[in-house]
Amino acid sequence: MTKRGVSRISISIPPDLLEEFDRAIKNLGYDRSKGIQVAMRDFLTENKCMYEERGMVAGAITIIYNHKVKGLEDDLTDTQHLHYNVISSTMHIHLDERNCLEIIAVKGEAKSIHNLAKKLMVRGVKQIKLAIVS
């Protein structure tokens, strides 16, 4: 059964992210509540296929991170070495003085790839995208 009403929550967001979000939703004619709801639904749609996916899949995990965060590059490399069995190759692009983009080509059990993606989402990683095909 669907629950009725609304839940009120309080969240912490970096100011620059909030500013950009506010600008984007203003252009779409949304208020913050509507914008967050749309973003949450998009997130669920995008990630549901990964959670519900079974069997062998292939695709790419794309991450953007700040390489100036101490120990982050080592952590990301260690994680990738631990999951070498599902990683076909990794492409590293230096976006600017601070930010790196990494495209990790993956192939294997959906569960293992999901597990890898979760482990890559550590402090200093700004964004992670999964593009998986069955």
Sign of CA dihedral 43, 44, 45, 47: positive
Asked if residue 63 binds Ni ion (CB under 5 A), the reply is no
Instruction: Give the shortest CB-73-to-Ni ion separation in angstroms.
Output: 8
For residues 90, 93, 97 and 100, what is the CA-based torsion angle, rounded to 10 degrees?
-40
Instruction: Give the shortest CB-87-to-Ni ion separation in angstroms.
Output: 18
CB closest to Ni ion, residue no: 100
Closer by beta carbon to Ni ion, 57 or else 75: 75
Strand arrangement of the beta sheet that strand 87-94 belongs to:
87-94, 99-109, 56-66, 125-133
Choices 49-57, 70-78, 91-99, 113-121; region in contact with Ni ion by CB under 5 A:
91-99
Binds Ni ion by CB under 5 A, chosen from 61, 86, 100, 125:
100
Q: What angle do CA 128, 64, 70 make, to 5 degrees?
A: 115
User: What tokens does 76 get?
Assistant: 């990301």
Binds Ni ion by CB under 5 A, chosen from 48, 94, 98, 123:
94
Neighbours of 33 (CB within 10 A): 11
Q: Please give the DSSP secondary-structure letter assigned to residue 2.
A: P
> Which residue shows structure tokens 């749609």?
45
State the number of binding residues for Ni ion (CB under 5 A).
Answer: 2
Instruction: Give the shortest CB-92-to-Ni ion separation in angstroms.
Output: 6
Closer by beta carbon to Ni ion, 32 or else 94: 94
Closer by beta carbon to Ni ion, 100 or else 116: 100
Query: Which stretches of the chain bind Ni ion, using CB under 5 A?
Result: 94, 100
